[in-house]
Structure 1
Amino acid sequence: MREFTAPALARVDRNANLTDFIVNNAAHDPHHVSFRRRIGSQWHDVTAGQFLYEVTEIAQGFIAAGINPGDRVAILSRTRYEWTLVDFAIWSAGAVTVPIYETSSAEQVQWILSDSRAVACIAETPELSSVVADLKPDLPQLHAVWQIEDAPPPGDVGSFTSLRRNGVGIPEAVVEARRSTVNAESIATLIYTSGTTGRPKGCALTHQNFLAEVMNVTAQLGEIFERPNCSTLLFLPLAHVFARVIQLASVYQGVTLGHSSDVKNLLDDFAAFRPTFLLAVPRVFEKVYNSATQKAEAAGKGKIFARAVTIAIAYSEAIETGTLTPKLRMQRSFYSALVYRKLRKSLGGRATHAISGGSALGSRLGHFYRGIGLTVLEGYGLTETTAAITVNPSRGAKIGTVGQPVPGTTIRIADDGEVLAKGPIVFGGYWRNEAATDDAIDPQGWFHTGDIGALDEDGFLSITGRKKEIIVTAGGKNVAPAVIEDRIRAHALVSQVMVVGDNEPFIGALITVDEEALEPWKATQGKTGSVTDLLTDPDLLAAIDEAVQYGNKAVSKAESVRKYHIIARDWTVEQGQLTPSMKLKRNVVMKEHEADINAIYGR
């Protein structure tokens, strides 16, 4: 199939804007618990009425500080309650939010503040405030910086308390008037695409883009968002469009929302918060699975766990094919009591669904999680499409695909296999960059995603590779690296994989080791030492060989990895090899590991 359109389930009023969500919530049920805010180790309820009051208070502070309609205000912070609070306050003051990842370098922060022409910035910590304060002399339009944390701010940076206090003299009617200046066509945010090459581009998303996305996706996934006492814990960076849409969808549907930035203790937060649905990138689901596998093996229950995995996958596959038997139901029930219940409890015990995006989860893990009682719905999208352009339905999901078009969206497959999109969720262009806009949107209005994919007869999309990442070997074979990379990365000991082989005689790979997973593996194997010490260890090599061979099963011989090189140091966002959304910066890795790639090919 070359094209598929999903009819819209909701239409956007041209006079609407995103602040309508919180105003309507407070008017409809001011005592509803809209948020659970963590202060220290305790979670505190925030009602819809209280949230609107706090948003208005911050908006008054912005107006008192001279922020005008259409002005850009940056947020430089990890995911936390105040991020959401400030986001709505910026819109309530008639302004535009510019998110910046807290992991960004000073140079990246300067570029975004300069290119967006931000007039103010909210920074989370004294360290981040100092970064902005140091840049301020070179940013003439940036006239105000405030700090979220209570610690003394540096230089002329103001406190969050002072921002609230300064707006006392501004009547609430002024905020309402400002809020009313914003309509669906107004720009809501400039999200600078992290990108894998070059300077980030400011993606201008309107209130209509977000409204169309949120209203249609939540209608499409009503079983998840309309469940009684529905809640979710947001831990992905709110600077990324995926988390931002879930934030808005939760507020729109009255889902109780919590925030966490402590990824290392995420399971503890799940246990305390007990969300009814989750959202994450595939790496999170891989780590939960790998950790459970290692714990079972360390406890001498590896065979039981492996059997439980087999039954869970078989159960999910039988659901999809309509071949579920009484015997399989009974086996699944047995392992649910023995294994699956504990896994679900580690995620809080109440979650029935999860939404995954950013990269491919893989069919095996998709079937495993559905088999244990947590249906992971894969979706697909970009910043330019306001997050998802496709998502799997809560009922009738096709594991291994990224779902059907979001209602109101059309997907087309071009002659070269590229995925094209059109609809109200597709952005209108990049901020102050007409050339980049013309490259992304053709004269007929189709947005070119840069990804290669296929549509089945029911409109389910499968992504098979990235157009710009297609590797062409010396023998002329076209290879999409994502397929085999996802399979290899599924192994517990593997952290990251990058397939190489452009203009080379065969396909090779660079592989990094997951240091968290390495520790329990060393304990079971009686090993000591770091990754560097174990690079030639026969047992580690055998484990990585196993991962590579599993990956090779998914592709033809010409596409399979013949040789690989284990890298002693993992790739991270902080060191610059990964984008904040955990995508590989292939050009960076290629440059840093030129010698390792040469070694693969005997040079």
Structure 2
Amino acid sequence: MRQLFEFFRGHASQAGELIAVSDDESALSRRELFARVVGFASELALAPKTVGILAPNGIDWVIAQLACAFAGKTVVPLPTFFSATQLEHVVRDASVEFILASERTAELVGQSGLPTRTIAGGGTGTDFPEFVDGFGQIVYTSGSTGRPKGVRLQSGQIAWSAATLIAATQASANDSYLSVLPLPLLLETICSVFIPTALGAHVHFDAGLAERVGRGDATGIAKAFDALRPTASVLVPQLLKQWVAELKAADQAAPSSLRLVAVGGAPVPTAVANAAWSLGIPAFEGYGLSECCSVVAVNRPGERRPGTVGRPLSGLAVSIDDGEIVVDGPSIMDGYIGGTASRPWRTGDLGAIDQDGFLTVHGRKDSLIVTAFGRNVSPEWIETMLLADPRIAFCAVAGHGVPHLTALLIPSRQGAEWFAAASYAEIIDLCAILCEGAPRYAVPRAAVVIRIEDALKHRLLSNGRPARKAMARFLEDGAAAPSGSAVTSSTST
């Protein structure tokens, strides 16, 4: 991390007038950003070691994140879309001692009783503090329940991952990055804060879109990209699908400025990826997990292989043991809170590596469904087929120990009208058509449809992504009718 700040200081002194960061309200040049960061780091020198950040995407977050890194603090991102119960658990579990908030979120953390500092207006001093080693981050792997796990990254994993991703993605100071994912997602922090800082590149935060994404709504993504015309961004598959749908509806193409859009967090339907490329979106599939500092493998410019998640990052040893993906290298976490990590790290994901070194991910080992007829089905395989339809925003498949599979379907904004008018038989027929390439035993024969608003109430979505365990419990706890019955949700559209 020390080297990153040397780069940061160099960018501020050379062409310091260039814009480094912007959001919907303001912009800071390289020189202004550096001054704000080092000034705020000086103010944090005597602050407690473990610091929470609760703020929307934007300049305030960048200043807080970099100042904490400069001051050797351990950062705990606090998602604005977490419930009060979830936030309370994270603060207690990570032993947060001090919270940095924006003017908008300061009131939310006032109830915690912890010392709180508002980011806005801070960091205006001119003293250059001494760099302090010891920066780390604790990220929480899931927001689907009140008890997400804390992953400790306190041994240089973030700096290593940022440097390795710069090489893998051919990032440079000429890039203009558009941030649309919530910053509590570790990959977004790496790609929108640490990589641009190291390179002197420009990053723009669309805070409004990021907040909607955190609630499972990506509406307006095409407009955001068209307005800024960036060169790079990171998306989850649902955002890519929404972007494709909006471009098709408007008979438009993506901005020609784009050179790389990394997509990860869940399987990318092949039909969606193909459609993205045909519309000018250079979508590169990747794979990773928080325990490995977000990225394990990614397709690169000039060497993309559709259907795979690319080759492993240089410096990582990736192998397959009894079908499970195993990873070792500098990005492995220090452990969950209260424990240490075993090496190599067994990911719990099933996959395969071809003769050219490209990795394919088949799904979670612990989510494997075994039907009453003894058939094994990876739910991710079927879910990816269902998600190829733009009318379906999110879905999950369940059926462990019963004769057939049931699909939980959450319609997209543009698909809500179709599902509201469709008969149950038409919904089942849609599932069969979308899963035409699967064997009969893997095709869902029952379905539950639930509106996205109700899915949020039931906490079936987290970080704009499906919360698999919560969705499976929702089906198992009575949403699905007995075998062979027609079933719809009481909250269906």
TM-score by length of 1: 0.74
The answer to whether structure 1 residue 257 and structure 2 residue 167 are counterparts is no
Counterpart-to-counterpart distance in 2, 1:32 and 1:386: 30
- Give the deviation of 1:93 after TM superposition: 2.1
Q: State which of 98, 116, 122 in structure 2 corresponds to 1:145.
A: 116
| Structure 1 unaligned spans of 5+ | 1-14, 137-141, 149-159, 297-338, 522-530
| Paired residue secondary structure (1:561) | coil
- In the TM superposition, residue 408 of structure 1 has moved relative to its aligned partner by 0.4
Q: Which residue of 1 aligns with 2:491?
A: none
Cα displacement string for residues 430-468 of structure 1 (whole angstroms, at most 9, x for unaligned residues): 22x22xx4xxx44xx111111111111111111111111
Counterpart pick for 2:318 among 385, 404, 411: 411
Corresponding residue for residue 237 of structure 1? 182
How far, CA to CA, are the matches of 1:569 and 1:119 in structure 2? 35
Aligned mates of 1:133, 1:82 — CA distance in 2? 18
User: Which is greater in Rg?
Assistant: 1
1:385 aligns with one of 272, 292, 295: 292
Shift of 1:374: 2.4
From the superposition, tell whether residues 198 and 471 of structure 1 become closer, same or farther in structure 2 (CA, over 3 Å).
Answer: farther
Using the TM superposition, give the Cα deviation of residue 351 of structure 1 relative to its aligned residue in structure 2, in angstroms. 1.2
Residue identity opposite 2:54 in structure 1: L
Shift of 1:103: 0.8
Match of 1:26 in 2: 12
Going from structure 1 to structure 2, the CA distance change for 1:290 and 1:37 (only over 3 Å counts) comes to closer
Question: Which residue is equivalent to 1:425?
Answer: 331
Partners of 1:120 and 1:17 in 2: CA distance: 27
* Residue 74 (structure 1) aligned to one of 29, 46, 52: 52
Deviation at 1:47, TM superposition (A): 2.0
Q: How many residues align?
A: 476
CA distance in 2, matches of 1:414, 1:195: 29
Which of 371, 379, 396 aligns to 1:481? It is: 379
Per-residue deviation, 1:495:
2.1
User: What amino acid is aligned across from residue 20 of structure 1 in structure 2?
Assistant: E
Contact 1:250 1:257 in 2 (8 A): yes
Runs of 5+ unmatched residues, structure 2: 210-218, 488-493
Structure 1 residue 209: deviation in Å? 0.8
Q: 1:358 maps to which residue? A: 265
| Equivalent-residue separation in structure 2 for 1:493 and 1:372 (angstroms) | 19
What is the CA–CA distance in structure 1 between the aligned matches of 2:223 and 2:19, rounded to whole Å?
22
Percent same amino acid among aligned pairs?
23
Partners in 2 of 1:216 and 1:271 — Cα distance? 29
Q: CA, structure 1 residues 460+201, in 2 after alignment: closer, same or farther (shift >3 Å)?
A: same
1:601 shift after superposition: 4.3
Counterpart for residue 566 of structure 1: 449
AA paired with 1:38? D
Q: In the alignment, what sits opposite 1:320? A: none
Relative to structure 1, the CA distance from residue 22 to residue 550 in structure 2 (aligned partners, 3 Å threshold; closer, same or farther) is farther
Alignment partner for residue 306 of structure 2, among 394, 399, 408? 399
**Contact map agreement 1:287 1:492 (CA 8 A) in 2:** yes
Deviation at 1:246, TM superposition (A): 0.5
Question: In the alignment, what sits opposite 1:343?
Answer: 253
Residues 367 and 379 of structure 2 are in contact (CA less than 8 Å); yes or no, is this contact kept in structure 1? yes
Q: Is the contact made by 1:469 and 1:480 (CA closer than 8 Å) also made in structure 2?
A: yes
- The whole-number CA distance in structure 1 between the counterparts of 2:227 and 2:346 is 42
How many angstroms does 1:383 deviate by? 1.0
State how far apart, in whole Å, the 1-side matches of 2:478 and 2:91 are: 37
Q: Distance in 1 between matches of 2:408 and 2:42?
A: 52
Tell me how far apart the structure 1 counterparts of residues 190 and 272 of structure 2 sit (CA, whole Å). Answer: 25
The answer to whether the 8 A contact 1:17-1:211 is kept is no
- Which of 452, 466, 472 in structure 1 is aligned with 2:364? 466
Is the CA contact 1:281–1:356 (under 8 Å) kept in the aligned structure 2? yes
Distance 1:108 1:252 in 2: 33
Task: Indicate conservation of the 8 Å contact 1:103/1:573, yes or no.
Answer: no
Query: Any idea what SS the aligned residue of 1:549 has?
Result: helix
> Partner residue of 1:133?
110
Q: Is the 8 A contact 1:355 1:376 kept in 2?
A: yes
- 2-structure distance, mates of 1:56, 1:106: 32
CA–CA separation in structure 2 for the residues paired with 1:111 and 1:393 = 38
When residues 200 and 406 of structure 1 are mapped into structure 2, their CA distance, relative to the original with a 3 A threshold, is same
Aligned residues of 1:197 and 1:585 also touching (Cα < 8 A): no
CA distance in 1, matches of 2:454, 2:190: 28
C-alpha deviation, 1:583, in angstroms = 2.9
Alpha-carbon distance between aligned partners in 1 of 2:475 and 2:10, rounded to the nearest angstrom:
52
- Bigger helix share: 1
Task: Please tell me whether residue 97 in structure 1 is matched to residue 45 in structure 2.
Answer: no
Bigger RCO (CA 8 Å, 6+ sep): 1
1:280 pairs with 2:235: yes
Could you list the per-position Cα deviations for residues 558-586 of structure 1 after superposition, in whole angstroms to 9, with x for gaps in the alignment? 21212223235555456411122513242
8 Å Cα contact 2:110/2:116 also seen in 1: yes
Does residue 371 (structure 1) correspond to residue 274 (structure 2)? The answer is no
- Does the 8 Å CA contact 1:362/1:486 hold for their aligned counterparts? yes
Q: Note if contact 2:164-2:314 (Cα within 8 Å) is conserved in structure 1.
A: yes
Per the alignment, residue 490 of structure 2 pairs with: none
Tell me, in whole angstroms, the C-alpha distance in 1 between the residues paired with 2:445 and 2:165: 42
**CA distance change for structure 1 residues 204 and 29 in 2, over 3 Å: closer, same or farther?**
farther
Which residue does 1:204 correspond to in 2? 152
Pairing 1:269–2:224 present: yes
Contact 2:136–2:154 under 8 Å retained in 1:
yes
Preserved CA contact (<8 Å) 1:496 1:571: no
Secondary structure of 1:425's aligned partner: coil
Which residue matches 1:515? Answer: 413
**Post-superposition shift, 1:95?**
1.3
Amino acid at match of 1:81: I
Give the CA deviation at 1:591: 3.6
Q: Which amino acid aligns with 2:200?
A: G
- SS of equivalent to 1:204: strand
Root mean square deviation, CA, Å: 2.5
Q: TM-score, normalised by structure 2?
A: 0.89
